[in-house]
Structure 1
Amino acid sequence: MTTGFTEPAKKHLGQNFLRDTSVIDRIVLAIAPQPGDVIVEIGPGQGALTFPLLKQHGDITAIEFDRDLHAPLQTAARQHGELHLIAGDVLSVNFSELAAQRSDAQGQIRLVGNLPYNLSSPILFHALDHAHAIRDMHFMLQKEVVERMAAGPGSKVYGRLSVMLQAYCSVTPLFIVPPGAFIPAPKVDSAVVRLVPKPHGKIEVADHASFANVVRAAFGQRRKTLRNALHGVADSATLEAAGLRPEARAEQVAVADFVQLANLLAAG
Structure 2
Amino acid sequence: MTHGFTRPAKKHLGQNFLHEKGVIDKIVQAIDPQPGDALVEIGPGQGALTFPLLRRHGQLIAIEFDRDLHAPLQAAAREHGTLHLIEGDVLEVDFTALAARHGDARGQIRLLGNLPYNLSSPILFHALTHAAAIRDMHFMLQKEVVERMAAGPGSKVYGRLSVMLQAYSVVTPLFTVAPGAFRPAPKVESAVVRLVPKPAEDIAIRDHARFAELVRAAFGQRRKTLRNALSGVASPALIEAAGLRPDARAEQIDVAGFVRLANLPVPA
Q: TM-score range by the shorter chain?
A: over 0.9
In the alignment, structure 1 residue 38 sits paired with structure 2 residue 44: no
Q: 1:81 to 1:253 in 2, by over 3 A?
A: same
Distance of 1:266 and 1:56 partners within structure 2: 52
Distance of 2:113 and 2:262 partners within structure 1: 32
Deviation at 1:105, TM superposition (A): 4.3
Would you say the 8 A contact 2:37–2:103 is kept in 1?
Answer: no
Distance of 2:200 and 2:246 partners within structure 1: 31
Aligned to 1:138: 138
Aligned to 1:28: 28
Distance of 1:21 and 1:200 partners within structure 2: 37
Distance of 2:40 and 2:181 partners within structure 1: 22
Distance of 1:109 and 1:92 partners within structure 2: 16
What secondary structure, in the 3-state scheme, does the structure 1 residue paired with 2:211 have? helix
In the alignment, structure 1 residue 61 sits paired with structure 2 residue 34: no
What amino acid sits opposite 2:147 in the alignment? E
Would you say the 8 A contact 1:135–1:197 is kept in 2?
Answer: yes
In the alignment, structure 1 residue 96 sits paired with structure 2 residue 83: no
What secondary structure, in the 3-state scheme, does the structure 2 residue paired with 1:194 have? strand
Distance of 1:6 and 1:105 partners within structure 2: 39
Distance of 2:165 and 2:240 partners within structure 1: 25
**Identity across matched positions, percent:** 78
Deviation at 1:267, TM superposition (A): 8.9
Q: 1:120 to 1:266 in 2, by over 3 A?
A: farther
Aligned to 2:174: 174
What amino acid sits opposite 1:186 in the alignment? P
What amino acid sits opposite 2:240 in the alignment? E
Q: What is the TM-score of this pair, normalised by structure 1?
A: 0.98
Aligned to 1:163: 163
Deviation at 1:210, TM superposition (A): 0.5
In the alignment, structure 1 residue 207 sits paired with structure 2 residue 245: no
What amino acid sits opposite 1:64 in the alignment? E
What secondary structure, in the 3-state scheme, does the structure 1 residue paired with 2:186 have? coil
What secondary structure, in the 3-state scheme, does the structure 1 residue paired with 2:196 have? strand
What amino acid sits opposite 2:25 in the alignment? D
Q: What is the TM-score of this pair, normalised by structure 2?
A: 0.98
What secondary structure, in the 3-state scheme, does the structure 2 residue paired with 1:176 have? strand
In the alignment, structure 1 residue 226 sits paired with structure 2 residue 229: no
Structure 1 stretches (4+) deviating beyond 6 angstroms? Answer: none
What amino acid sits opposite 1:108 in the alignment? Q
Alignment of 1:241-256 (within 5 A): 241-256=241-256
Distance of 2:209 and 2:257 partners within structure 1: 16
Distance of 1:254 and 1:226 partners within structure 2: 13
Distance of 1:50 and 1:164 partners within structure 2: 29
- Describe the superposition over 1:227-248 as per-residue Cα deviations: whole angstroms up to 9, x where unpaired: 0000000010000000000000
Aligned to 1:84: 84
Distance of 1:163 and 1:258 partners within structure 2: 8
- Describe the superposition over 1:28-56 as per-residue Cα deviations: whole angstroms up to 9, x where unpaired: 00000000000000000000000000000
Q: 1:82 to 1:260 in 2, by over 3 A?
A: same
- Describe the superposition over 1:114-148 as per-residue Cα deviations: whole angstroms up to 9, x where unpaired: 00000000000000000000000000000000000
In the alignment, structure 1 residue 185 sits paired with structure 2 residue 185: yes
Deviation at 1:84, TM superposition (A): 0.2
Deviation at 1:266, TM superposition (A): 6.2
What secondary structure, in the 3-state scheme, does the structure 2 residue paired with 1:193 have? strand
Aligned length: 268
Distance of 2:94 and 2:185 partners within structure 1: 32
Deviation at 1:200, TM superposition (A): 1.2
> What are structure 2's unaligned runs of at least 5 residues?
none
Mean Cα deviation higher: 107-116 or 1-10: 1-10
Would you say the 8 A contact 2:103–2:109 is kept in 1?
Answer: no
Deviation at 1:265, TM superposition (A): 4.0
- Describe the superposition over 1:40-94 as per-residue Cα deviations: whole angstroms up to 9, x where unpaired: 0000000000000000000000000000000000000000000000000000000
CA RMSD between the two structures: 1.1
Would you say the 8 A contact 1:207–1:266 is kept in 2?
Answer: no
What amino acid sits opposite 1:19 in the alignment? H
Would you say the 8 A contact 2:172–2:194 is kept in 1?
Answer: yes
Would you say the 8 A contact 2:177–2:189 is kept in 1?
Answer: yes
